[in-house]
């Protein structure tokens, strides 16, 4: 018997079509979660790829005051810094109807110390987890969230036994100290999406699908995981 495919590729002829389809799908999931339990949670990723999606989603008629938005990971920089994903989300997603949503800050305080991490883990477990929706991105090296193959923390980051929802990561091939959700926590998300655009990222995706070593390309953990059905949304 062949192995069941644990991901699904949805490709679109334009980024605008992808943004519209993904925003509609996510808004339906969030509304259903609110109807079921009175609240919903979503973790998004940074970068330029999701900006169009953020704008479309922000205009959806969801009961946003019952939604908590957070990030899959964040650079430990000031919110006013150009490298801040928190800033990106505030400027592009927490707008229009979505301005009513709550935002769970990963970057809290000055130092990413053990005490700050412990407080953040407690708060995340109380306010967010498990996530109703997870939107992942992917780097050229196959990293996702801040699960970097080059980091000394990658074994901990991918370990299913990791009981910490949030952890500190110091990538060797990218700037800034990071805070990221662990794979063990992210894999519990009820709906997981990988949002990628362009031929370059399609080549990275094809490479990730062609083999299974998750330490070489951490995105593989989400593409080949037996109990994760990652929805891949791609457009040129």
Which tens digits make up the pLDDT trace of 31-70? Answer: 999 999 999 999 999 999 999 999 999 999 999 999 999 9
Residue 203's pLDDT is 97
| Residue 2, domain member (yes or no) | no
Does the pLDDT at position 3 exceed 60?
no
| Residue 143, domain member (yes or no) | yes
CA angle 105, 182, 58 (to 5 degrees): 40
Q: Residue 27 sits in which domain range?
A: 7-235
E strand segments, the chain: 7-12, 40-44, 67-71, 73-75, 102-103, 133-136, 166-169, 178-181, 192-197, 230-235
Does the pLDDT at position 169 exceed 50?
yes
The answer to whether the predicted template modeling score (pTM) of the entire model surpasses 0.85 is yes
Q: What share of residues in the chain are helix, strand, coil (percent, to 5)?
A: 35, 20, 45
Q: How confident is the model at residue 2 (pLDDT cuts 50, 70, 90)?
A: very low
Distance CA 88, CA 18 (A): 20
* DSSP-derived pairing of the beta strands 73-75 and 7-12: unpaired
Name 152's Cβ contacts closer than 8 Å, sequence gap at least 6: 170
Q: How confident is the model at residue 1 (pLDDT cuts 50, 70, 90)?
A: very low
Across 148-174, average pLDDT: 95
Distance CA 73, CA 129 (A): 15
* DSSP-derived pairing of the beta strands 178-181 and 192-197: unpaired
| Residue 74, domain member (yes or no) | yes
Residue 21's pLDDT is 98
| Residue 149, domain member (yes or no) | yes
The structural domain count of the chain equals 1
Cα-Cα-Cα-Cα torsion 229, 231, 232, 234, nearest 10 degrees, comes to 170
Residue 110's pLDDT is 86
**pLDDT (tens digit, 9 = 90+) per residue, 127-159?**
999 999 999 999 999 999 999 999 999 999 999
Residue 174 or residue 67, greater confidence:
67
**pLDDT (tens digit, 9 = 90+) per residue, 206-222?**
999 999 999 999 999 99
The enclosing domain of 154 has a CATH number of 3.40.50.1360
| Residue 1, domain member (yes or no) | no
Q: How confident is the model at residue 7 (pLDDT cuts 50, 70, 90)?
A: confident
**pLDDT (tens digit, 9 = 90+) per residue, 91-108?**
999 999 999 999 999 999
């Amino acid at each position: 018997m062949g192995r069941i495919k644990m991901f699904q590729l949805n490709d679109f002829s334009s980024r605008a079509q992808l943004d519209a389809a993904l925003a509609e799908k996510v808004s339906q999931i969030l509304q259903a979660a609110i109807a079921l339990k009175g609240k919903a949670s979503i973790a998004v990723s940074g970068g330029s790829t999701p900006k169009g999606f953020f704008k479309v989603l922000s205009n959806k008629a969801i009961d946003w005051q019952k939604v908590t938005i957070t990030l899959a990971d964040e650079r430990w920089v000031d919110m006013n810094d150009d490298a801040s994903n928190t800033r990106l989300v505030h400027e592009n997603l927490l707008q229009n109807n979505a301005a009513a949503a709550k935002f769970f800050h990963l970057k809290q305080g000055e130092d990413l110390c053990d005490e700050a991490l412990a407080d953040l883990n407690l708060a995340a477990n109380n306010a967010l987890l498990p996530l109703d929706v997870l939107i992942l991105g992917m780097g050229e090296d196959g990293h996702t969230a801040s699960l970097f193959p080059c980091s000394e923390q990658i074994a901990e980051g991918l370990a299913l036994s990791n009981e910490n929802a949030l952890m500190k990561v110091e990538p060797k091939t990218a700037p800034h100290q990071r805070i990221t959700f662990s794979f063990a926590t992210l894999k519990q998300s009820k709906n997981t999406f990988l949002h990628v655009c362009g031929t370059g990222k399609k080549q990275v995706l094809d490479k990730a699908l062609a083999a299974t070593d998750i330490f070489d390309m951490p995105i593989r953990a989400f593409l080949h995981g037996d109990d994760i059905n990652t929805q891949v949304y791609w457009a040129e």
